[in-house]
Amino acid sequence: MATLLLMQARGRVTAAEVAAELEVSVATARRDLEALSTAGIPVYPQPGRGGGWSLVGGARTDLTGLTAPEAQALFLLVGSSSDRSADATSALRKLVRALPATFRAEAEAAGRAVLVDPGGWGSAARSRQPWVEELQGAVVRRRQVTLGYGGRSGASERTVDPWALVDKGELWYLVAGTPAGRRTFRLDRIISLSVLDTPAARPDDLDVEGIWEAVVDEVEQRRSRVTATVLTTPFLVRVVRDLFGRHVTVLGAADGPDEGRVRLEVASHTARSVAEKLAGFGAAVEVLEPASVRDELAVLGAELVARYAGVGGPR
């Protein structure tokens, strides 16, 4: 947003000028300029001496001259930022008031279409799902969608009212209304998608952040029924964090005979699950308690020995 407003004021800017004005790195400024262009904002580069980046239409192009798709693209881009500041939020509100009334509502809806929750649930980062753009459009235009969905009980087809998308650690979710109430769908489990012409129902007082907090609480309660205290090296603390997500608490540096190691508390839904996540670390992670997790590690070790003992011989 700040980059776009700066371009409106100056007409043409370089990445270095944006970096100096906004107090960011040149690489960040260049990335933001490219992101604006990719998102469909009328911004284009001019190579060569005296070049830079310009708004289509010249130095005095007014932001209120954006088309409806361009305004929606801008609000999707800025509205989904995980580190959006209070100033950026204020700027969005001002821009909403400056937009033509004919597409003001859709632009504002685009700013609320995506919620970013950067803390993952222990899953590896995934590529952007192919349904994100279609679902964003359905949320903004308030259109029902029919999903082919592969859930735990098998594949099914259902028609839902899309309310918002959530990017949680780069794993995407759709929050939607159904005849059975609010439901959450993982985008990587969607097999097929059709956007309908039927208007989608959406509560007037919809609180996406509040709904997502409730979803996270439900999942966290299911995932964290067993807690274990472990010792590991400082180098592996970050690796364990990535594996367990928010279910890691750093208790502090160990002392005495364990000096040089770090004491952590990790959690998952069963003792077996905790053991399976830690088994790959071998002796680099030591489980102090509970006994149930230590027992599961012993069982896993015995299973591996029984399966692979003698395979390949000495090297």
Q: Is residue 252 left, alpha or beta, with left meaning phi > 0 and alpha meaning psi from -120 to 50?
A: left
Q: Tell me which of 39 and 291 has the higher pLDDT.
A: 291
- For the stretch 126-162, pLDDT in tens is 555 678 888 888 888 889 999 999 877 788 899 999 9
Beta-strand relationship, 226-232 and 181-186: unpaired
The number of angstroms, rounded, from the C-alpha of 198 to the middle of its chain's C-alpha atoms is: 29
Residues 6+ apart with CB under 8 A from 251: 229, 262, 263, 264, 265
Calpha distance 143→134 (Å, rounded)? 11
Relative orientation angle of helices 101-111 and 68-79, to the nearest 10 degrees: 20
Calpha distance 248→278 (Å, rounded)? 13
Calpha distance 86→81 (Å, rounded)? 12
- For the stretch 205-231, pLDDT in tens is 888 888 888 887 777 766 667 899 999
In which band, very low, low, confident or very high, does the pLDDT at 117 lie, cut at 50, 70 and 90?
A: low
Instruction: Write down all domains in the chain, each with its CATH number in brackets.
Output: 2-111 (3.30.63), 117-208 (2.30.30), 224-308 (3.30.70)
* Helix (H), strand (E) counts: the chain: 11, 13
Residue ranges of E strands in the chain? 12-13, 43-46, 52-55, 114-117, 143-151, 154-168, 171-178, 181-186, 190-199, 226-232, 248-253, 262-268, 286-289
**Terminal C-alpha separation, the chain:** 59
SS3 175: strand
- Of 57-61, 64-68, 260-264, 311-315, which range is least confident? 57-61
- For the stretch 15-47, pLDDT in tens is 888 888 777 788 888 888 877 777 667 777 877
In which band, very low, low, confident or very high, does the pLDDT at 82 lie, cut at 50, 70 and 90?
A: very low
In which band, very low, low, confident or very high, does the pLDDT at 70 lie, cut at 50, 70 and 90?
A: low
Q: What's the whole-model pTM score? A: 0.48
Secondary structure (H, E, C), 16-41: HHHHHHHCCCHHHHHHHHHHHHHCCC
Secondary structure (H, E, C), 225-241: CEEEEEEECHHHHHHHH
Q: What is the pLDDT of residue 74?
A: 57
pLDDT winner (highest mean) among 65-69, 95-99, 149-153, 237-241: 237-241
- For the stretch 179-211, pLDDT in tens is 989 899 989 899 999 999 999 998 888 888 888
- CA nearest to 279, candidates 264, 296, 254: 296
**Cis peptide bond N-terminal to 290, omega within 30:** yes
pLDDT (mean) for 244-252: 88
Q: Which stretch of DSSP H or E encloses residue 98?
A: helix 86-98
- CA nearest to 119, candidates 170, 187, 183: 170
Relative orientation angle of helices 132-141 and 68-79, to the nearest 10 degrees: 110
In which band, very low, low, confident or very high, does the pLDDT at 3 lie, cut at 50, 70 and 90?
A: confident
Residue 12 has pLDDT above 80, yes or no: no
The number of angstroms, rounded, from the C-alpha of 25 to the middle of its chain's C-alpha atoms is: 23
